[in-house]
Amino acid sequence: MMGKIVQNLPSAQCCQQNRQFGSLYQRDQCAQFKNNLLLFQRRKLTWTGISTMQLHNMSNISQRHVNCNASTSATAVPSLGKVDFLKLQNGSDIRGVAVDGVAGEPINLTETVTQAIAAAFAAWLLDKKRTDSSKHFKISIGHDSRISAQKLQDAASRGIAGAGFDVVQYGLASTPAMFNSTLTKNENILCPVDGAIMITASHLPYNRNGFKFFTNAGGLGKADIKDILERAANIYNGFTPESLKEAEIKCSLSISKVDYMTVYASDLVAAVRKASGNIEKPLEGFHIIVDAGNGAGGFFAGKVLEPLGAITSGSQFLEPDGLFPNHIPNPEDKAAMKAITQAVLDNKADLGIIFDTDVDRSAAVDSTGREFNRNRLIALMSAIVLEEHPGTTIVTDSVTSDGLTIFIEKKIGGKHHRFKRGYKNVIDEAIHLNSVGEESHLAIETSGHGALKENHWLDDGAYLMVKLLNKLASARASGQTGGSKVLTDLVDELQEPGVAVELRLKIDQNHSDLKGGSFRDYGEAVLKHLENKSESDPNLHKAPVNYEGVRVSGYGGWFLLRLSLHDPVLPLNIEAPSNEDAVKLGLAVLSTVNEFSALDVSALLKFVQE
């Protein structure tokens, strides 16, 4: 299957303009855009697998300008309010409010802010790739199903084009596909691109949106995001009516549209066929249901499963709808998991697959309704990876269970390396371990983010599910029957807790106890006090190796109190064999942290009382 360019417009010749933009940005004088009018010329592209009628239609389309300013008139000048760009940072992503309508959540991710952020990414990319400054740079843009996606895509396109880069729009896409577009080598679809932007806010409510950025080295880190936002603030403050108008003109001349999701999906299909010994339809007869939650994952049923021979009837919520009318697209959400489980049981399917909004997370359900998410998904992926790479290290986040450690190390012969929360932290740790000689092939969070060394360490929910499909296909090819039981059998020896709960203890930043200090300092003080108290309690035992918060075992279970990555919250995880044991652990924490008046312990108090 070959992706097709469905629209191509004249693109800027901008080797020189790239350099102009780099020096222009360094002086923080973006108003000088008006002095750098560019010359454009039409570029011919190779068309592959397109009918005469399609060529005719596309030749008509290619004469039109793309509307890069859908929500304002050509002469309108946006009002530039004051914006704190650094508040838009959310770890290694950017997140903000893009749609009005929710009380107390004013819009801070406007079209003009978006334009500045995209221009800043272009400037950042130019600095990183200065050795290639003689080439013509391209940036791809894709988005999930959010209702603000189109206007932000148009705004980002203006920012990129205003910087003198080419824009390649993918439309509805997945986050993993955007990264892959920096790796794919196919000039017919303008790949590889030099950088990629995914417009998404994962599973957050409909009014939010945000951005993830990629180069061929992977996703950007926290320091990169801060750099881009600082650049964006300078660019934003330098906008003038003239520079904004010129960016709009450049945008109308420098966009191509590509059906990249077809390419991405066909690669997934090829991976499953290869695992089965190159059988054309290795999943023939399997009944597999997809729940996309009205996000971007609906393609998986028709473009991946059906070409492999699977029956997909009963799949649900495949149509993109940014209001998410059925359930939150989130494999951690109980309502979402209940929806896919019920669909599997109602349709007597072999397997159910559920994605989050932008398809970088996933989970599954077997034919009996047993969920493969959180610790079970990690156990299942670990079992599959350890069959391929015996003895390898599995890197997870900090809240994984003790039962998972026993399973990985005692049952299937691997090593469990429990690290910090945050998918980028987990992935970076796995990369680090490999760099110092400790082999690791899987990095995975309980949230459903999972990355494999074989897949360029990209957290790709669709690729995780392909690994499950590979197991089904290879089992079928070797004569095994029983549907998804081959998966269930892999995790039969996983010990699971009787009680597992996460409570959020909020820090009141306005409380006098903080005395003008930061919530982070206050939270660290709580953790240090809990650590000291735990060491003096004979019923509790502090974890000998721990990278985040305070992890303590006792009463047959364990608790972990840590400080949130971004918010004034101390999440508390408790796992135990019974309610009674869980309450004992909860009381041990409560007796220690209760003396910190700025800490809201009502959730913990309610838990131990009930």
> What structural domains does the chain harbor?
9-258 (3.40.120.10), 264-490 (3.40.120.10), 499-609 (3.30.310.50)
Tell me the two tokens of residue 85.
């760009």
Give residue 462's region: left, alpha or beta (phi > 0; psi -120 to 50): alpha
Decide if 115 contacts 248 (C-beta within 8 A).
no
- Mean pLDDT across 71-80: 45
Tell me the two tokens of residue 602.
């009502």
CA 40 to each of CA 9, 126, 251, 252, 303: distance values in angstroms, whole numbers, following the listed order? 10, 20, 11, 11, 37
Tens digit of each residue's pLDDT (9 = 90 or more) over 562-607: 999 778 999 999 999 999 999 999 999 999 999 999 999 999 999 9
CB hemisphere CA count around 198 (13 angstroms): 29
Q: Rounded mean pLDDT of the chain?
A: 87
**Per-residue 3-state assignment (H helix, E strand, C coil) for 349-393:** CCEEEEECCCCCEEEEEECCCCEECHHHHHHHHHHHHHHHCCCCE
**Per-residue 3-state assignment (H helix, E strand, C coil) for 497-521:** CCEEEEEEEEECCCCHHHCCCCHHH
Assign 135 to helix, strand or coil.
Answer: coil
> At what angle are helices 461-477 and 260-275 packed, to 10 degrees?
30
Assign 193 to helix, strand or coil.
Answer: coil
Q: Distance between CA 239 and CA 91 in Å, rounded?
A: 27
Calculate ∠ Cα 174-265-450, nearest 5°: 55
- Mean pLDDT across 337-360: 98
Q: Distance between CA 139 and CA 166 in Å, rounded?
A: 6
What is the C-alpha R_g of the chain?
25
pLDDT band at 68 (very low <50, low <70, confident <90, very high): low
Question: What does the pLDDT read at residue 567?
Answer: 86
Question: What does the pLDDT read at residue 254?
Answer: 84
Tell me the two tokens of residue 47.
């068309």
Q: How do 351-355 and 288-291 pair as beta strands?
A: parallel
Q: Distance between CA 429 and CA 421 in Å, rounded?
A: 11
pTM for the whole thing? 0.85
Question: What does the pLDDT read at residue 142?
Answer: 98
Q: Tell me which residue has tokens 């549907």.
A: 483
- Helix H segments across 163-288? 175-180, 222-238, 241-253, 260-275
Q: Compute, in degrees rounded to 10, the torsion defined by CA atoms 347, 272, 219, 504.
A: 30
Which of 15-29, 44-58, 104-118, 188-202 is predicted least confidently? 44-58
Which of 2-11, 58-67, 518-527 is predicted least confidently? 58-67
Which of 145-149, 309-313, 398-402, 420-424 is predicted least confidently? 420-424
Decide if 459 contacts 200 (C-beta within 8 A).
no
- Our measurement of the distance from residue 306's CA atom to the centroid of its chain's CA atoms, rounded to an integer in Å, reads 25
Q: How do 288-291 and 255-258 pair as beta strands?
A: unpaired
Q: Distance between CA 576 and CA 284 in Å, rounded?
A: 42
Decide if 89 contacts 226 (C-beta within 8 A).
yes
Calculate ∠ Cα 9-12-13, nearest 5°: 135
Decide if 604 contacts 572 (C-beta within 8 A).
yes
Closest among 251, 247, 61 to 168, alpha carbons compared: 251
- pLDDT for 21 beyond 70: no
Tens digit of each residue's pLDDT (9 = 90 or more) over 510-521: 999 998 889 999
> At what angle are helices 579-593 and 519-535 packed, to 10 degrees?
120
- Mean pLDDT across 184-202: 96
Helices (H) and strands (E) counted in the chain, each on its own, are 18, 25
CA 173 to each of CA 47, 271, 318, 360, 549: distance values in angstroms, whole numbers, following the listed order? 22, 20, 13, 11, 36
Tens digit of each residue's pLDDT (9 = 90 or more) over 206-238: 999 999 999 999 999 999 999 999 999 999 999
Burial class (CB in 10 A: 0-12, 13-18, 19+), 44: exposed
> At what angle are helices 461-477 and 374-388 packed, to 10 degrees?
60
Assign 552 to helix, strand or coil.
Answer: strand
Q: Which secondary structure element, helix H or strand E, spans residue 576, and what is its range? A: strand 569-576
Residue 169 contacts by C-beta under 8 Å, 6 or more apart in sequence? Answer: 140, 141, 142, 153, 157, 255, 256, 257, 258
